């Protein structure tokens, strides 16, 4: 989806004409492939975050800030 949005922004059009549809779709596919290569090659030394722990910390901050839990 991000590749489609990027190509839309770059081409300054939200929907290509019939003549340009193939080029538009090819650009989307190529950008998605390159983005996949980039994401697959990134390395981090940080441990993965525990979503449940992060949610609990967020709720605790909300209680401290607003005095109640968010809905």
Residues 26-67: tens digit of each pLDDT: 999 999 999 999 999 999 999 988 999 999 999 999 999 988
Name the residue range of residue 9's domain: 2-66
How far from the centroid of its chain's Cα atoms is residue 66's Cα? 29
Q: What is the largest CA-CA distance in the chain?
A: 58
Question: Looking at the domain assignment, is residue 24 inside a domain?
Answer: yes
Please count the structural domains in the chain: 1
pTM: 0.63
Question: Looking at the domain assignment, is residue 14 inside a domain?
Answer: yes
Q: Which two tokens stand for residue 19?
A: 């003549």
Q: How confident is the model at residue 71 (pLDDT cuts 50, 70, 90)?
A: low
State yes or no: pLDDT of 68 exceeds 80: no
Strand locations in the chain (E): none
């Amino acid at each position: 989806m991000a590749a489609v949005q990027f190509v839309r922004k770059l081409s300054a059009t939200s929907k290509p004409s019939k003549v340009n549809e193939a080029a538009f779709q090819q650009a989307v596919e190529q950008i998605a492939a390159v983005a996949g290569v980039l994401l697959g090659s990134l390395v981090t030394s940080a441990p993965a975050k525990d979503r449940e722990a992060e949610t609990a910390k967020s709720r605790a901050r909300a209680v401290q800030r607003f005095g109640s839990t968010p809905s």
